[in-house]
């Protein structure tokens, strides 16, 4: 098991008749067990996989209710329940102020994953499932809906304690309501936005393409370099780790591991030494896709100019070797 759980508690938020959140608090920490560690590992991986996360740092221009409670807890680690109680009360207040009608199980945990300590706060819904007993009777029960985690924030305590003003030691899921959820989390945590993963990704895309154009690579070498960059960034994202420019350079060109690193420095490209990325925004490194007016097209970048030919003058896309399943559908439709 790669997760060590130090402290965990769960409170329940329910909505009253006026749709205002009410708290039902747990009075003791949940004992650590193999099941608890497995739960936190699932939550950690699910959180990492969420796209379009926001990144932030604490701001002195906002109320520091959560920050002050966390600071007190870091000084007195046995007072985790006090931190949980304070965070829950602040969460309820901010939910009301931002008019977000949310209910569910509020989980707070201090855990370690691969030598990094985290503080996780997430609001989880529940989902009913059914099973069959040994007597072949139906039984119903509820389980935490981890896959649909929408309200969650995580603090990299290891990074934060080294540098409290690190621009992406704090992250949060932007959620289905976009800007509204981002504003809610920034106010709840007392933060201001720091590093922008999407902007970082755009800068990586443009810098990689600029480097590949300047380097003496053939078409296959360019494809391999783009693939290596994408796979490295994807692996870092899945682990919840930042992209490191030096490692990115090494993965791009094994024959000249510092080539991209030196190019960024020489050309003064705005690529940070370490930054989070949005993997979805990097898809263009390896794939072209688009949809509109009832047509959806997607293909790997390596096929452009070979199996797929684009004529900008005629605004046409020619595909050689239609995928078998699409070809079968077309033939059956035409024959009918």
Mean pLDDT to the nearest integer, 243-270: 84
Question: 132 with 240, same domain?
Answer: no
Q: In the chain, pLDDT over 70 holds for what percent of residues?
A: 98
Residue reference for tokens 């509820």? 142
Greatest alpha-carbon span in the chain: 76
Alpha-carbon dihedral 256, 258, 261, 265, rounded to 10 degrees: -100
Question: 12 with 109, same domain?
Answer: yes
At 148, the pLDDT band (50, 70, 90 cuts) reads confident
Are 156 and 172 in contact by the 8 Å Cβ rule? The answer is no
At 93, the pLDDT band (50, 70, 90 cuts) reads confident
User: What are 17's two structure tokens?
Assistant: 């008749």
Question: 21 with 128, same domain?
Answer: yes
At 176, the pLDDT band (50, 70, 90 cuts) reads low
Mean pLDDT to the nearest integer, 149-156: 89
C-alpha dist (Å) from residue 261 to 21, 41, 245, 250: 51, 34, 7, 9
3-state secondary structure 58-72: ECCCCCCHHHHHHHH
pLDDT at residue 131 greater than cutoff 60: yes
Question: 185 with 205, same domain?
Answer: no
Residue reference for tokens 């420019």? 245
Residue 240 dihedral angles phi and psi, to the nearest 5°: 75, 25
Question: 236 with 141, same domain?
Answer: no
Which is higher by pLDDT, 329 or 98? 329
Question: 149 with 241, same domain?
Answer: no
pLDDT at residue 122 greater than cutoff 80: yes
DSSP string, 79-122: -HHHHHHHHHHHHHHHHHHTT----EEEEEEEEEETTEEEEEEE
Q: pLDDT tens digit string along 3-43?
A: 999 999 999 988 777 777 778 888 899 999 999 999 999 99
Question: 264 with 303, same domain?
Answer: no
Burial of 259 (0-12, 13-18, 19+ CB in 10 A): middle
Are 146 and 152 in contact by the 8 Å Cβ rule? The answer is no
Which is higher by pLDDT, 196 or 245? 245
Question: 161 with 15, same domain?
Answer: yes
Question: 176 with 61, same domain?
Answer: yes
Question: 98 with 182, same domain?
Answer: yes
Which run of H or E residues covers position 235?
helix 219-238
Give the pLDDT of residue 1: 57
Mean pLDDT to the nearest integer, 78-101: 88
Q: pLDDT tens digit string along 192-227?
A: 887 777 788 888 888 888 888 888 788 888 888 888
Q: Which domain holds residue 71?
A: 3-193
Domain boundary (144, 167, 193) is at: 193
Question: 123 with 270, same domain?
Answer: no
Which is higher by pLDDT, 164 or 21? 164
Tell me the C-alpha distance between 231 and 93, whole Å: 42
Give the pLDDT of residue 263: 85
Q: pLDDT tens digit string along 264-323?
A: 888 878 787 888 878 888 888 888 888 888 888 888 888 888 888 888 888 888 898 888
User: What are 299's two structure tokens?
Assistant: 């293909």
Question: 168 with 300, same domain?
Answer: no
Tell me the C-alpha distance between 52 and 182, whole Å: 11
Query: Chain-centre distance of CA 128, in angstroms?
Result: 26
Q: Please give the tally of structural domains in the chain.
A: 3
Are 154 and 47 in contact by the 8 Å Cβ rule? The answer is yes
Tell me the C-alpha distance between 140 and 131, whole Å: 6
Give the pLDDT of residue 4: 93
User: What are 212's two structure tokens?
Assistant: 């590949």
At 179, the pLDDT band (50, 70, 90 cuts) reads low
């Amino acid at each position: 098991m790669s997760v060590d759980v130090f402290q965990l508690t769960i409170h329940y938020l329910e909505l009253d008749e006026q749709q205002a959140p009410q708290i039902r608090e747990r009075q003791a920490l949940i004992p650590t067990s193999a099941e608890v560690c497995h739960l936190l590992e699932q939550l950690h991986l699910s959180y990492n996989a969420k796209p379009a996360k926001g990144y932030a740092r604490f701001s002195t221009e906002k109320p520091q209710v959560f920050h002050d409670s966390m600071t007190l807890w870091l000084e007195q680690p046995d007072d985790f329940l006090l931190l949980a109680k304070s965070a829950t009360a602040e969460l309820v207040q901010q939910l009301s102020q931002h008019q977000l009608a949310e209910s569910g199980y509020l989980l707070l945990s201090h855990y370690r994953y691969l030598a990094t300590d985290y503080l996780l706060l997430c609001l989880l819904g529940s989902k009913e499932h059914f099973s069959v007993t040994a007597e072949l009777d139906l039984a119903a029960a509820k389980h935490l809906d981890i896959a649909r985690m929408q309200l969650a924030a995580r603090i990299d305590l290891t990074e934060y304690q080294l540098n409290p003003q690190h621009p992406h030691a704090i992250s949060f899921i932007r959620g289905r309501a976009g800007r509204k959820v981002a504003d809610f989390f920034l106010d709840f945590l007392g933060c201001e936005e720091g590093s922008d993963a999407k902007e970082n990704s755009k800068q990586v895309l443009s810098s990689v393409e600029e480097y590949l154009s300047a380097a003496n690579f053939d078409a296959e070498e360019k494809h391999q370099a783009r693939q290596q960059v994408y796979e490295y960034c994807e692996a870092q994202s899945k682990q919840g780790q930042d992209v490191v420019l030096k490692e990115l350079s090494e993965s791009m060109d094994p024959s000249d591991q510092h080539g991209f690193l030196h190019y960024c420095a020489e050309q003064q490209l705005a690529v940070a030494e370490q930054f989070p990325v949005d993997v979805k925004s990097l898809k263009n490194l390896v794939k072209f896709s688009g949809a509109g007016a009832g047509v959806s097209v997607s293909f790997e970048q390596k096929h452009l100019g070979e199996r797929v030919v684009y004529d900008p003058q005629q605004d046409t896309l020619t595909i050689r070797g239609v995928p078998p399943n699409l070809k079968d559908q077309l033939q059956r439709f035409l024959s009918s």
